[in-house]
A and B are shown apart, each in its own frame.
Chain A
Amino acid sequence: MARRVTPQRKALFTILGWLFGLVMFFPILWTIMTSFKSEGDAIASPPLLFFHWTMENYTEVQSRSDYFLHFGNSVAISFGSVILGLIIAVPAAWAMAFAPAKRTKDLLMWMLSTKMMPPVGVLVPIYLIYRDWGLLDTVGGLIGLMTMANLPIIVWMLYTYFKEIPVDILEAARMDGASLGKEILYVLTPMAVPGIASTLLLNIILAWNEAFWTLNLTAAKAAPLSAFIASYSSPEGLFWAKLSAASTLAIAPILILGWFSQKQLVRGLTFGAVK
């Protein structure tokens, strides 16, 4: 670790690193910039790096397509499904981590395997059930669905975080006279907060970006942002500035959440296989 890094080497990697970083980020950067252009500037060739900034696209997006309705749907679906999922998953993860039975491992594996079932495999019956029960294009219907879709990941992430809490400490609390409720409230929860928070964050991101069920099961009313943006795929896609404004609004909140969760992302998405 005490290796000296030559300034030349560092400079070289600074240039390389920034170059690749900017290339990767360019589509996002370009979208954000275009969202502040007039439609004319947006399609100018050569592309304009300097232009007259305008906010008109943002006001237009809201007035024409009720952006905030879809934003609200996205928030309701992602937060609602993850919180519901946590309520179901926390007790399960607690039990599996601290009172494992012989079949706990098989159970965890089975949960994981449900996540691997491709959604198209169950698209038809889900669509028909939702149609018959009047759940198509409802926020509630999607919350229920996304809860189930992400439940295995939530249980798994919590399980790997809980596993890292030494069972000794919970037993110490028991010896110290804490009831199960107090044990969970005073000892487990404060220690598990970081893990629960990252589980919450990552699953909100996943739910926010989900684009199979949302596209297939929602229309105008309950469409979250992922489905709303898809409506730009035809004619309106030619209006780049407005498309960019809508896109920027759709990705900005989750991009920021994502930056905060980058460390947990690896663990969560690999089910603890890479830490």
Chain B
Amino acid sequence: MATLHTRSLARVMVAPSVVLLFIWMAVPLVMTLYFSFLRYELLQPGPTPFAGFSNYYYFVTDPSFWDAIVNTISLVVGTLVITVVGGTLFGLMLDQPFWGQGIVRILVISPFFVLPTVAALVWKNMLMHPVYGIFAWIAHLFGAQPIDWFAEVPLLSVTLIVAWQWLPFATLILLTALQSLSEEQKEAAEMDGASVLSIFWYITLPHLARAITVVILIETIFLLTVFAEILVTTNGGPGDATTNIAFLVYAQALLQFDVGGASAGGIIAVILANIVAVFLVRMIGKNLEA
């Protein structure tokens, strides 16, 4: 609802954002697609002949690729389980009245603001170090043998670091959702004779369903491309143990200088992300109507 004048003005004002974003998205993507069909290696100057689907073929048949797929999924699912379950518990706890609530809230969300590279280094060196780390010391306290985290359970170690960074995000969103649950609904349920557990199961959880979906979708988008944490802790190793798709593409491009192969990997990553994005966009789109 507006006059013609404002509407034409509006078009002018939207244009820069749209044009810039379109260039930013379309140009590199088309180039990636183009490169993915070439035999193109940075260290070999000269012609870059058409290679058909061979880049895709080599990328997909490389055993590292399947390792990376499995690692990507494990990392995403592992982190999601920890953050959603933990976030729900933290959220419920922070929703209760207690002394120093505001400060605890700040403590809990702080990890989200820590640079990924810092988080990874601090965890790797100071917490998970097999000799001097805090975890090793705790293990000694209980008379147990310390775990050499990055040698024995490298993927779990990375997952823990990433989960620590994302748990605050899940907590904060679920807490916000909890606070919007009307007290009257809970009171009505109590009048109907529901126990604390059944209130949680039949009232609270369904109310959180939407927020949990949002957490899962948004985290998935970011977790599919976890990179810095892997680069500074394990460099994808040992072997391929912590190589995910993002890291594999990086290694192919900037360590092996195989532009064609990396591009094929990039396109595959885009396809994977799009599958998730479709759900997220639809969900937020629905919210726009409301």
Contact = CB atoms under 8 A, between A and B. Distances in A.
A and B touch in the complex (CB under 8 A): yes
Interface stretch (B59-67, B151-159, B244-252): B244-252
A91 B277 CA distance: 27
Interface in B221-242: 221, 224-225, 227-228, 231-233
B88 interface: no
A94 to B, nearest CB: 6
A83 to B, nearest CB: 15
B85 interface: no
A38 interface: no
Q: Looking at chain B's contact residues, is the secondary structure mostly helix, strand, loop, or mixed?
A: helix
Contacts of A133: none
A13 to B, nearest CB: 4
B14 A96 contact: yes
Contact of B28 (A31, A115, A122): A122
Interface string A204-241: 01001101100110000000011101101100011010
A20 interface: yes
Given A17-B100, A114-B25, A269-B218, A251 B114 contact: yes
Interface in A188-212: 205, 208-209, 211-212
A57 interface: no
A88 B245 CA distance: 33
B104 A212 contact: no
Interface residues of B, number: 107
A143 interface: no
A212 B168 CA distance: 21
B228 A211 contact: yes
A82 interface: no
A120 B117 contact: no
Contacts, number: 315
Contacts of A99: 2, 6-7, 9-10
A123 B137 contact: no
B191 interface: no
Contact of A125 (B32, B109, B121): B32
A270 B266 contact: no
A121 B267 contact: yes
A92 B99 contact: no
A266 interface: yes
B107 interface: yes
B97 interface: yes
Given A118-B269, A123-B250, A273-B214, A24 B21 contact: no
Contacts of A247: 115, 118, 121-122
Contact of A121 (B104, B111, B231, B266): B266
A173 interface: no
A262 B94 CA distance: 14
A9 B93 CA distance: 12
A21 B127 CA distance: 17
Interface in A92-130: 92, 94-96, 98-99, 101, 105, 107-109, 111-129
A30 B126 contact: yes
A266 to B, nearest CB: 5
A230 B235 CA distance: 12
A254 B100 CA distance: 23
A105 B282 CA distance: 12
A120 B284 contact: no
Interface of B: 1-2, 6-7, 9-11, 13-14, 16-18, 20-21, 24-25, 27-29, 31-32, 35, 90, 93-94, 96-101, 103-127, 132, 134, 137, 164, 167-169, 172-173, 176-177, 180, 183, 210-211, 214, 218, 221, 224-225, 227-228, 231-233, 245-246, 249-250, 253-254, 259, 262-263, 265-267, 269-270, 272-274, 276-277, 280-281, 283-285, 287-288
- 10 interchain residue pairs of minimum CB distance: A95-B10, A258-B113, A91-B13, A211-B228, A125-B31, A122-B28, A21-B104, A99-B10, A21-B107, A116-B277
